[in-house]
């Protein structure tokens, strides 16, 4: 039996048993995200060539209140909440990792949305 057939058979069996499979290999379900009862902040940290940067620190800094610090996963993905009372337009997002410098932060989502996607680009020193 070829590796492809075995892989497809395993995936079909997992789905039949009720397991959820996601294209990116992540189990994040934004539609059911209610943690913190506020906007969800998410995005990717990548290097200047587009490769994911794992274990990068991402900082969500509201104008008032405590910042949230988190790390990216193996795909360079981060996601978190701050507080339902903090307006998304009052939050600055930055990223860093030893051996890199922040090159660009790009907010894909319009201010005021409930899902705030922001991508960060780092350049190796």
CATH number of the domain enclosing 62: 2.60.40.10
The mean pLDDT of 14-38, rounded to a whole number, is 47
User: What is the domain extent for residue 66?
Assistant: 30-124
Global pTM reads: 0.69
Q: What is the pLDDT of residue 13?
A: 44
Nearest to 41 by CA among 82, 73, 11, 96: 82
* Residue 1 domain flag: no
Q: What is the spatial distance between Cα 95 and Cα 71, in angstroms, rounded to a whole number?
A: 9
* Residue 119 domain flag: yes
Phi then psi dihedrals of residue 55, to 5 deg = 60, 20
* Residue 115 domain flag: yes
Q: When comparing pLDDT for 49 and 25, which is higher?
A: 49
Per the DSSP assignment, residues forming a β-bridge with 71 are 57
Number of domains forming the structure of the chain: 1
Per-chain mean pLDDT for the chain: 78
Q: How confident is the model at residue 109 (pLDDT cuts 50, 70, 90)?
A: confident
């Amino acid at each position: 039996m070829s590796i492809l057939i075995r892989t497809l058979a395993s995936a079909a069996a997992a789905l039949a048993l009720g397991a959820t499979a996601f294209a990116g290999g992540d189990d994040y379900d934004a539609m059911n995200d209610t943690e913190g009862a506020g906007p969800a902040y998410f995005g990717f940290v990548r290097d200047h060539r587009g490769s994911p940067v794992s274990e990068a620190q991402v900082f969500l800094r509201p104008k008032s209140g405590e910042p949230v610090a988190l790390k990216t996963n193996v795909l360079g993905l981060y996601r978190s909440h701050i507080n339902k009372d903090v307006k998304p337009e009052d939050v600055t997002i930055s990223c860093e990792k030893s051996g890199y410098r922040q090159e660009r932060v790009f907010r894909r989502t319009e201010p005021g949305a409930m899902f705030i996607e922001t991508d960060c680009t780092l350049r190796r020193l």
